[in-house]
Structure 1
């Protein structure tokens, strides 16, 4: 289980915290939705849960132990803008193989073509590059995903294809996932339960 207890985080210590006493649990095989207004702190919470930010109070644990500080991280963050998650000077093959070597089944499920391998990130569309970052994040040992608005910049068909492939992998591996989105329809389709982040606090949605 990925658990957060009484998290507090403030971007500027002289201002009100963007995350204030937030507690959340995501079980293996469970998909939890998170929504909220722009600037409410959803992405900050996602980065905290993935270990990319350190809480100023509270704790984050995986099965009762702190997240590891080194090596492959069992909680991976998928970003809204994949361009910010890759090295623009690396070719796609090197990006894909940064953490592991994705198998053919996964590449086919995500519609990743071999002829992309010699290209640079700017030579792929946003949807194509997002598929690459998803494949890279699904290395063995990764148990939880934080999907932060990963399809909001994509057309409807690409969104549907990406989510279909991702949800199949998540289900087959019994991975847990936090889906951050403004899209209520998406959250109603994919999430087992949903929360709204407002004024630094989590409210459960019916």
Structure 2
């Protein structure tokens, strides 16, 4: 069941152009850089208010680095990141702080991302103190309101994280992200560490938050079935690049890029009697230290031809708001 497609206004909440992030590769702890790892290699995307954009790909494709670069938790190497019309790349650390409350992240691991020594109330209310949004009774009331929004009773405010289940911890993480009243959320694999039954609850909670608060969201995941449930639009990432972008329904029904087709062929089908032919990829994901020339997917692509090693295909339209980067699309 895919999320219904959002009606998007003319102006995006977030607009990213040619985002790049490289890391030096050193030999030894104090050694000189010997190579460059290109984690994000020219990503462009938009997110509109009230829209959930899914970002999918294998581990090592650059999804998490992309999400953290958008919030400047990791400093990009190049590119433009405009939030509500303001280019975040041109802001100082002090100027950027004004935007922090409007852009928040929900982390993958609800165990590593929570300070075990703080009460749930203090964890959720930390942003209220940092941004000077509420104190005293008003702060306590806001904490209880946030816990209620994520499905936790008021008595959780005085409990410690070790008494909570994984799903409850993730609800705390969501409440903490919502505390400052953000307009944009990066949800980085927020259900991958949870049981299937709990995953559905958290996904429905995120959809409810989107509908009530009209927040835009970048939802990062390697699980295509999860993204199909929640996303309005889907971006497929491979080795630091976006290779396909489409409305969710169009992507799952008419995937155009060979990589997307292979990912979908491995995803489970819902319903009796359904089956599809599995497309098996060749080899392993190449190293981002030494990516292939031309099309980055060519070394594993079952449709690769000689020209793929020389030509880096641009994103081309294959349908309404549907784009893919493949040399075969240029010839069709």
Superposition TM-score, scaled by structure 2 size: 0.58
Pick the aligned partner of 2:119 from 85, 88, 91.
91
Tell me the distance in 2 between the aligned counterparts of 1:114 and 1:64. 38
Q: Which runs of 5+ in 1 are unaligned?
A: none
2:218 aligns to what? 178
Pick the aligned partner of 2:184 from 135, 144, 164.
144
**1:70-149 matches, cutoff 5 A:** 70-71=97-98, 72-100=100-128, 101=139, 102=142, 106-149=146-189
Pick the aligned partner of 2:44 from 19, 23, 41.
23
Any idea what SS the aligned residue of 2:159 has? coil
Tell me the distance in 1 between the aligned counterparts of 2:202 and 2:59. 24
Any idea what SS the aligned residue of 1:39 has? coil
CA offset digits 1:151-174 (Å, max 9, x no partner): 111122221222212211211221
- Whether the aligned pair in 2 keeps the contact of 1:49 and 1:75 (CA below 8 Å) is no
The structure with the largest alpha-carbon Rg is 2
Tell me the distance in 2 between the aligned counterparts of 1:200 and 1:80. 20
Tell me the distance in 2 between the aligned counterparts of 1:66 and 1:83. 33
Instruction: Return 157-166 or 179-188, whichever deviates more.
Output: 157-166
Pick the aligned partner of 1:168 from 182, 186, 208.
208
Instruction: Return 125-134 or 79-88, whichever deviates more.
Output: 79-88
Any idea what SS the aligned residue of 1:99 has? helix
The higher-RCO structure (CA 8 Å, 6+ apart) is 1
**1:56-71 matches, cutoff 5 A:** 56-67=77-88, 68-71=95-98
| Structure 1 residues 18 and 119: alpha-carbon distance in aligned structure 2, compared to 1, 3 A threshold | same
Q: Which runs of 5+ in 2 are unaligned?
A: 1-12, 26-34, 89-94, 129-138, 246-250, 252-332
Q: Using the TM superposition, give the Cα deviation of residue 115 of structure 1 relative to its aligned residue in structure 2, in angstroms.
A: 2.9
CA offset digits 1:7-61 (Å, max 9, x no partner): 1101226223110111111011111111111111111111111221111111211
- Between the two proteins, the alignment pairs up a number of residues equal to 206
